[in-house]
Structure 1
């Protein structure tokens, strides 16, 4: 934890990340789509929120404690480090993740309409899953290289409206979360030009 605390202090001294809030409201978190990875179904606590820019994208970094109902009268808390990039326009809800990052959430990746997550070919390590409200869009952007980049970063990412949400397991120093945001920007750079003008009004279930 001391590495996380030190990284928070250092980032607060960085003029490029001068917008800082110790905690955000649950209403603020809802803007990123709940239910949906990596958020909990019961409560979500966004802590140590920074705003700045990464590769030209307005970027928000924070620590997430997502709470879901576990067994009888028990709740489970899942902790993630999260980066959110603000995109120029809306894209269809789509996600790719290392399966182990989301298995414990026991929740769907999106609101109703996305269908069930699809596990990518057997034998891949780490095991990966994907899901989209628009399978044609998913086929366009989820290339083998994009899957490999996601796997190598041990991350998950999800498109929600004009946001790309990325997450890694546990509370990490902010240098690591900035690196996550940079990987997300690299993944967006892999999307074909036609993805930016995709008609989000034309959707079919997975």
Structure 2
């Protein structure tokens, strides 16, 4: 935890990052689409919220404690490090994740209209799952490079309106959260222009 504290002290004073908040309200976090991974179904607590930019995208980094019912004491808490990118346009609700990051939450990753999550074909990678409200979008967007980037980063990511939400387990220093956000931009760069509307206008990644 000392690495996390040291990272917070460093980045909250970095002029390239701004709007540090020690915590945020439950209402604030609703904008990122609840219910849905990686958030808890009972309560969500955020700490160390930091805002800036990663590869041109507005980025919000924070630590999350997601609470759900269950366990010996009535509730179970899962800790995550989360990065949120604000996109130039909305995309269909979609999720791809390393399986271990979602199984433990015991909930569907998206609203019911998305249908059940699907297991991706097994191979030399961790077990992966995907889910989308738009199967045609998912077929075009979730390519082998996208799955490989997600697996290599040991992350999960989810699209909600004009947000891309990524997460890894446990509280990590900001350096790891920035790395998470950079992996998310790599995923976006793999999306073909037909599913990444802003690419049609500028001909290149944001």
- Residue 32 of structure 1 aligns with which residue? 32
Which residue matches 1:141? 141
2:117 is matched with 117
Match for residue 87 of structure 1? 87
Aligned to 2:201: none
What's the TM-score, normalizing by structure 1? Answer: 0.93
> In the alignment, which residue of structure 2 is the partner of 1:159?
159
Superposition misfits of 4+ residues, deviation over 6 angstroms: none
Aligned to 1:204: none
2-side partners of 1:20 and 1:59: how far apart?
12
What's 2:203 paired with?
none
- 1:59-98 counterparts in 2 under 5 A? 59-71=59-71, 74-98=74-98
Give the secondary structure class of the aligned counterpart of 1:46.
strand
Matched residue SS, 2:90: strand
Give the whole-Å Cα distance in 2 for the aligned partners of 1:40 and 1:130: 19
SS of 1:23's partner is strand
CA RMSD of aligned residues (A): 1.2
Alignment of 1:161-200 (within 5 A): 161-197=161-197
Give the deviation of 1:71 after TM superposition. Answer: 3.7
CA–CA distance in structure 2, aligned partners of residues 123 and 186 of structure 1: 21
Secondary structure, aligned partner of 1:131: strand
Give the TM-score, by structure 2 length.
0.93
**C-alpha distance in structure 1 between counterparts of 2:145 and 2:122, whole Å:** 17
What displacement does 1:122 show? Answer: 2.9
Deviations 1:59-91 (A, max 9, x none): 000000000001476100000000000000110
Task: Provide Cα deviations, 1:21-71, integer angstroms capped at 9, x if missing partner.
Answer: 000000000000000000000000111100000011000000000000014
**CA positional deviation for 1:19:** 1.1
Q: Across the two proteins, how many residue pairs are aligned to each other?
A: 198
CA drift at 1:16: 1.1
Deviates more, 1:121-130 or 1:134-143: 121-130
